[in-house]
Chains A and B, each alone.
Chain A
Amino acid sequence: MRTAFIQELFAIAQKDPRIVLMVGDLGFGVVTPFMEKLPQQFVNAGVAEQNMTGMAAGMALSGKIVFTYSIANFPVLRPLEQIRNDICYHNANVRIVAVGGGMAYGALGPSHHATEDIAVMRAMPNMVVVAPGDPVEARLATQALIKHQGPAYLRLGRAGEPLVHHTPPHFEIGRAILVREGNDITLISTGGLLPEAIEAAHRLSQGGINARVLSMHTIKPLDEDAVLAAARETSAIFTIEEHSIIGGLGGGVAEVLAESGISIPIFRRLGIRGGFSSEVGTQNYLRKRYGLDAEGIVKTVRHALEVS
């Protein structure tokens, strides 16, 4: 995803001098072509995310479209007050880009696990929150965010994620993408777990359960129509995210459902329960550990359907 993002940004930035890429001294090998070819549109803020974020607001208020870029929590939690007061309050055109959303930097340990970022960014006024499901969505999200007015958070995976979309889908901020038709249950996925959700749907279909899969690449504003349609047309909703079950996609969908008055017999949030991981592990290992791989999703779905 980060490659798709940086390639797309680089291509557009060559034609649009308003675009600035600002990094917190990270991105070796990834941002290098941008840095070398477009030095006037590149800033390395050093290991100083608060200043990076405040400066991004200042540049945006001077007519730039600024992408701040760092890994995991660094561009999000460290400069949170700068995001709120300097970017959001001024509705500044800054896009905060975090590479390694979720547990992409698994074995680096919990300091590098971005697992509360969606909840925190969702709460920020004016902030749009986007977590693409594959490199194609990452590319389309980058294009859309350049046109968007106001602040945005772009949560990316790392590198080497499988392609889900083989032809570019219609991409619109705030509109879920229907990846798989189905009328028994709905799997709503955000971010890099999309391939796991699709694989889970495939396995469930072999047992006669026909699962709809939505790629909810925008968590804020949430596509309420798609959620409510799922509630009306299918009998169970499962949200799937590499994030705490508190305040992220699952929280957002729960809010929509609770306020709608539409009763849905089964609703489950799949995500990280219990806080910091107590074991070392790669992303794949930790996903399995938290039941977020295809096998874990299938297990949760089957259990929920049997219990009911």
Chain B
Amino acid sequence: MSLSPEERLELQKLAAKVRRHTIEMTHKAKASHVGSSLSMVELLVVLYKKILHIKPEEPEWPERDRFILSKGHGCASFYALLAEIGFFPVNWLDTFYQDGSRLPGHATHTYVPGVEISTGSLGHGLSVATGMALAAKRDKKPYRVFCMLSDGECDEGSTWEPALFAPQHRLDNLVAIVDYNKIQSLGTVKEVMDLDSLAAKWRAFGWAVREIDGHDIDAIASTLSSLPFEPERPSCLIAHTVKGKGVSFMENKLLWHYRSPQGEEYTAAVAELEGQE
């Protein structure tokens, strides 16, 4: 898939809009995880606009491709994107974290159209995705299952159990995407639990692996339109990303795993993103 200039511009604008929502939501909610939400925005935008077979007006459409946000803490941008493409009203985003609302701080399926499964504890999503992919194979259904993981999540042993299982069962309808932003909870990935070489690890487990710049919209679109990367193998996309991407003072800063944008920081972040829309 190659994108026309108009398509590229539309996706870039949507990404900026999703980022602005993310800042506004985490500001109002005084919420953490803004950096984790911002690093995967281009991946989400390209997936939902160009790759996934979905019907926002019919969230339970049986033939839909499934998407699981295993890194459930990054849900602010995910909710924002789901709202922007029509799964639920955009004004719900104002209720993020609020008492009595539907949108908690980790991706939740209850009453939120478009959220396939609830996540929040790391190392769960890929197993559930693998079960869905196995069921699709057994039932000879054409849908695919996509699972977005964080790099910190690759510390979990339970991530590597389905990583072993899926190649054994030739689940080429399964796609793992690692949002490799290189910063985890208490330090950089290199400092805490070095994953290098992450691509070699997934390859050694039997996955077909591609590595791209996870903010390059053209690269994401072209790579994810050639699935499976190899026949009879699950696909793993390692997306090199920048934590806090899109707001210059948040980029590559551990602080923004926790800090909520307030005061002048909030104003500056919104101004920077409005310039991109």
Residues of A that sit less than 8 Å from B by CB: 40-41, 43, 45-46, 48, 50-51, 53-64, 81-82, 85-86, 89-90
Contact B124 A58 (CB under 8 A): no
Q: Collect the chain B residues with CB atoms within 8 Å of residue A63's CB.
A: 135, 139
Contact B158 A43 (CB under 8 A): no
Name the distance in Å between A17's Cβ and chain B's nearest Cβ: 9
In the complex, what distance in Å separates the CA atom of A122 from the CA atom of B202?
A: 38
CB proximity to A under 8 Å, residues B102-149: 109, 117-121, 123-124, 126-136, 138-139
Q: Collect the chain B residues with CB atoms within 8 Å of residue A53's CB.
A: 127
In the complex, what distance in Å separates the CA atom of A181 from the CA atom of B3?
A: 78
In the complex, what distance in Å separates the CA atom of A58 from the CA atom of B130?
A: 7
Q: Collect the chain A residues with CB atoms within 8 Å of residue B168's CB.
A: 46
Contact A62 B135 (CB under 8 A): yes
30 contacts between A and B (CB under 8 A): A48-B165, A50-B127, A50-B157, A50-B161, A51-B127, A51-B130, A51-B161, A51-B164, A54-B124, A54-B127, A54-B130, A54-B131, A55-B127, A55-B130, A55-B165, A57-B117, A57-B128, A58-B129, A58-B131, A59-B131, A61-B128, A61-B131, A61-B132, A62-B131, A62-B132, A64-B135, A81-B121, A82-B127, A85-B120, A90-B109
Q: Given A45, A46, A54, A81, which contacts B128 in the complex, CB threshold below 8 Å?
A: A54
Contact B164 A55 (CB under 8 A): no
In the complex, what distance in Å separates the CA atom of A50 from the CA atom of B118?
A: 17
- Give the residue name and chain of the B residue nearest to A55 (CB): B131
Contact B121 A54 (CB under 8 A): no
Given the interface contacts A53-B127, A58-B132, does A85 sit within 8 Å of B162 by beta carbon? no
Q: Collect the chain A residues with CB atoms within 8 Å of residue B138's CB.
A: 40-41
In the complex, what distance in Å separates the CA atom of A61 from the CA atom of B118?
A: 12
Contact B121 A85 (CB under 8 A): yes
Residues of B that sit less than 8 Å from A by CB: 109, 117-121, 123-124, 126-136, 138-139, 157-158, 161-162, 164-165, 168
Contact B131 A56 (CB under 8 A): yes
In the complex, what distance in Å separates the CA atom of A43 from the CA atom of B171?
A: 14
Q: Collect the chain A residues with CB atoms within 8 Å of residue B118's CB.
A: 85, 89-90
Contact B127 A86 (CB under 8 A): yes
Contact B161 A48 (CB under 8 A): yes
In the complex, what distance in Å separates the CA atom of A43 from the CA atom of B166?
A: 12
Contact B127 A90 (CB under 8 A): no
- Give the residue name and chain of the B residue nearest to A62 (CB): B135
Q: Given A41, A46, A58, A60, which contacts B127 in the complex, CB threshold below 8 Å?
A: A58
Contact B134 A55 (CB under 8 A): yes
Q: Collect the chain B residues with CB atoms within 8 Å of residue A85's CB.
A: 118-121, 124
Name the distance in Å between B158's Cβ and chain A's nearest Cβ: 4
Shortest 10 CB-CB distances between A and B: which pairs?
Answer: A58-B131, A54-B127, A55-B131, A51-B161, A62-B135, A58-B128, A48-B161, A58-B132, A59-B131, A50-B158
Q: Collect the chain A residues with CB atoms within 8 Å of residue B134's CB.
A: 43, 55, 58-59
Known: A51-B130, A54-B131, A82-B124. 9 other contacts (CB 8 A): A41-B138, A50-B127, A55-B130, A55-B162, A58-B130, A59-B135, A61-B131, A62-B139, A82-B158
- Give the residue name and chain of the A residue nearest to B135 (CB): A62
In the complex, what distance in Å separates the CA atom of A189 from the CA atom of B80?
A: 53
Contact A54 B162 (CB under 8 A): yes
Q: Collect the chain B residues with CB atoms within 8 Å of residue A50's CB.
A: 123, 127, 157-158, 161
In the complex, what distance in Å separates the CA atom of A152 from the CA atom of B16?
A: 45
In the complex, what distance in Å separates the CA atom of A246 from the CA atom of B165?
A: 37
Contact A90 B117 (CB under 8 A): yes
Contact B132 A59 (CB under 8 A): yes
- Give the residue name and chain of the B residue nearest to A94 (CB): B131
In the complex, what distance in Å separates the CA atom of A64 from the CA atom of B120?
A: 24
